[in-house]
């Protein structure tokens, strides 16, 4: 009878050793990305953005969206509105994150680390309308007299 009691006690002790505080992990603090829209336009409308990975969103001028609880990975935000262009992207926040801005394509790529918070202001304006080039017009040439 004593053999069974000792075996049970060892098995219970071993189970506590593997599931005790030594294996507990600290909670991972998640990061956040905030995008604010600043427009030079008088249009009071929503402008579309792609957010990858995640759900796309729309913003009005001087409004922002916050994506929080984000894991450490690379996120891409792209302005996606025909007829408008990104003229400036200003990002602030934790220095550990790498932020790559591409004005021409209206893209921000953020390599977010845990517990970091990045805020970016995207300034847009209407695309410049191409100036029409006048087409040359033919100047009438007076007829030359023919000798008789």
Instruction: Report pLDDT digits (tens) over 53-84.
Output: 989 999 988 899 999 999 999 999 999 888 89
* Distance separating alpha carbons of residues 107 and 16, to the nearest angstrom: 51
- Which of 41, 52, 31, 54 lies closest to 122 in space, CA to CA? 41
Of residues 86 and 18, which shows the higher confidence score? Answer: 86
Coil, helix or strand for 54?
coil
Question: Which secondary structure element, helix H or strand E, spans residue 14, and what is its range?
Answer: helix 2-19
Name the band, by pLDDT with cuts 50, 70 and 90, for residue 100: very high
Asked, as a colleague might, if the bond just before 53 is cis with ω within 30 of 0, I would say yes
Strands 57-59, 47-52: pairing kind: antiparallel
For 60-116, strand residue ranges (E) read 64-70, 73-79, 84-93, 98-102, 107-112
Query: How does pLDDT run across 24-38, given as a tens digit for each residue?
Result: 566 667 899 999 999
């Amino acid at each position: 009878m004593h053999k069974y009691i000792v075996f049970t006690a060892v098995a219970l002790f071993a189970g506590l050793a593997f599931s005790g505080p030594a294996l507990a992990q600290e909670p991972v603090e998640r990061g956040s990305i905030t995008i604010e829209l600043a427009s030079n336009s008088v249009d009071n409308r929503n402008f579309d953005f792609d957010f990858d990975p995640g759900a796309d969103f729309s913003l009005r001028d001087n409004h922002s969206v916050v994506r929080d609880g984000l894991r450490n990975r690379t996120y891409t935000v792209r302005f996606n509105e025909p007829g408008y262009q990104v003229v400036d992207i200003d990002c602030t926040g934790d220095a550990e994150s790498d932020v790559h801005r591409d004005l021409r394509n209206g893209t921000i790529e953020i390599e977010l680390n845990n517990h970091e918070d990045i805020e970016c202001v995207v300034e847009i304006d209407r695309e410049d309308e191409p100036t029409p080039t006048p087409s040359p017009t033919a100047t009438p040439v007076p007829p030359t007299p023919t000798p008789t």
